[in-house]
Amino acid sequence: MQNLTELSVSATSPRNLSVIIKVCVVIPFFCIFVCCTVVMLYIFASHRQFLDSSRYILFASMLINDTVQLLFAVLLFFLDMGQIRFALVYCVPLLFISVATFQNTPLILATMSLERYVAIIYPLQCPPAWRSDRIWIIILSLWLLSCVCTITECSIGPQNSAVDILYIPVVCSDAIVNSSQIQIFFKSVVNTLCFAAVAVIILFTYVRILLETRKLRKDTTSVSKAMNTVLLHGFQLLLCMLAFTIPITETLIVLYTNWQRKDIAFSNFFCFVLIPRFLSPLIYGFRDQSFRSYIEVIFLCCSNRVKPGVKSLIQNN
């Protein structure tokens, strides 16, 4: 009896060790991201100059969207990794928010590129829709569009009568809710059109701003910054599109290695979902000089190495 107990413990210990390692890898990344996001949102809400700028309002919207997306993606990943089962009625809202926020990210990137385009082309006569007091209408429209696409994706497929959404426990994954061929096709078409349209918008705004630099000999600094910002949006879009390479990488890993399915899923999740979402807003936030200066002040004030007199001087400034 004792030998059987030791055998079962030794058989399950590698699996438990693998789960612990995955948790210890993912949780620190997510905590660092949340801490940096909270600091940036605090800076945004505490200074009027950011609240009066459409650019920073869109940036705050992207921070909130990516934080929600990462939160639910990490939650769903650990639920799937632990094979935790619960009723489908609780699974659908988790998947809905995760998919909607994923589709909303490229729309926000396209809107931010268009905002830079409007700021350069129409510096004195900004269209009313792009003013800071009305930019919220555009943001709500983006959320509405993402939610409508997600609801349509979940509604067009045939309903599985064998699954009781209230009582039968299932492992919460996208394959459970969107399992029909028409849903998979619709999702592929929507994602392809969305990312293609965003790529065209980013390319269009970059070319237009580039042509504008040849006309304007004044204020070339702001124009060059706008070009760099649009390029950064293109890089962020590329990071988001890495999630579509997961089926290809899974096939290659299965062909050339003997990894387990959960290890393959974790490597793809970490490389193509977690890291891009982690880097995307942080690169944009720390690159901005205004945000970076306030971030440095906050971290200096929180540091114990700063003398009280210096700390009070920094706070007053």
Residue 117 in tokens:
């385009």
pLDDT of 157 reads: 67
Mean pLDDT, the chain, whole residue set: 78
Q: What's the pLDDT band for 184 if we cut at 50, 70, 90? A: confident
Residues 22-76 pLDDT 10s: 888 888 888 888 888 888 898 888 888 888 888 899 999 999 998 999 999 889 8
Least confident of 61-75, 134-148, 194-208, 245-259: 245-259
Angle CA(211)–CA(109)–CA(175) in degrees, nearest 5? 140
Give residue 248's pLDDT: 72
d(C-alpha 91, C-alpha 98), whole Å:
11
CB 202 within 8 A of CB 237: yes
Nearest-CA neighbor of 242 among 285, 175, 187, 191? 191
Confidence of residue 1 (pLDDT cuts 50, 70, 90): very low
Summarised one tens digit per residue, pLDDT across range 192-209 is 888 888 888 888 888 887
Q: What domains, with CATH codes, occur in the chain?
A: 17-316 (1.20.1070.10)
274: DSSP letter: I
Task: Give the gyration radius of the chain's Cα atoms.
Answer: 23
Element (H, E) at 226: helix 220-241
> pTM for this one?
0.82
Residue closest to 178 by CA, chosen among 159, 164, 165, 205: 159
Count CB atoms within 10 A of the CB of residue 317.
6
Q: Which of 193, 190, 208 is nearest to 114 (CA)?
A: 208
Examine the pLDDT at 167 and tell me if it is beyond 60: yes
**What single letter denotes the amino acid at residue 2?**
Q
